[in-house]
Copies of this chain bind each other. A is one copy, B any other.
Amino acid sequence: MKAHTEYMTFHTRKRYEMVHITDEVEAIVRRSGIEDGLCFVSPMHITAAVYVNDHESGLIEDIGEWLETLAPRGPEYNHHQTGEDNGDAHLKSLLLHHETTLPVTRGKLDLGPWQRVFYAEFDGQRPKRLIVKVLGIAAA
């Protein structure tokens, strides 16, 4: 049994940005040498999320607009009394869930054909970390 951990850093140019990371996660699984197990992916911040869905630009816009409807940016959050202005980013992170687990079979992510992994940034323009940890059975 083996565990393999890597960290990635994102520094998005925009405040809100969806970054496609399936290839990077797949490369980490390959480097892990793990054949069968689970791959955990999570931002180490509370104003970002990771999600699995379609890599289609219209849908990515839809997701952004939908998150804005359900957890709008605005001045009204109690959290802003601390001097912050990112209350909405915390709620958006909760809505998409801050972590996901992915299955690994025969040394690869065992995803359906349209399942792609995204890092969802809601308060970017600064360096933010993400952890990937693969746990499972290594190749003999």
Contacts and interface: CB of A to CB of B under 8 A. Distances in A.
How large, as a class, is the contact surface on chain A? 35 or more
Contacts of A115: 44-46, 98
A61 B81 CA distance: 12
A105 B94 CA distance: 24
Given A45-B115, A59-B78, 14 more contacts: A1-B1, A3-B37, A3-B137, A5-B36, A51-B98, A52-B98, A54-B90, A56-B82, A57-B78, A63-B90, A63-B94, A66-B91, A99-B100, A101-B101
Contact of A38 (B38, B81, B97): B38
Interface of A: 1-3, 5, 36-38, 40, 42-46, 51-54, 56-59, 61-63, 66, 70-71, 77-82, 87, 90-91, 93-103, 105, 110-112, 114-115, 129, 131, 133, 135-137
Nearest to A111: B44
Task: Please give me the 8 A-B residue pairs with the lowest Cβ-Cβ distance, nearest first.
Answer: A44-B112, A58-B78, A59-B79, A3-B36, A1-B1, A58-B79, A61-B78, A46-B53
Q: Please state the number of chain copies in the assembly.
A: 3
Nearest to A114: B46
Given A44-B115, A53-B93, A135-B135, A87 B101 contact: no
A80 B58 contact: yes
Contact of A133 (B79, B97, B103, B133): B103
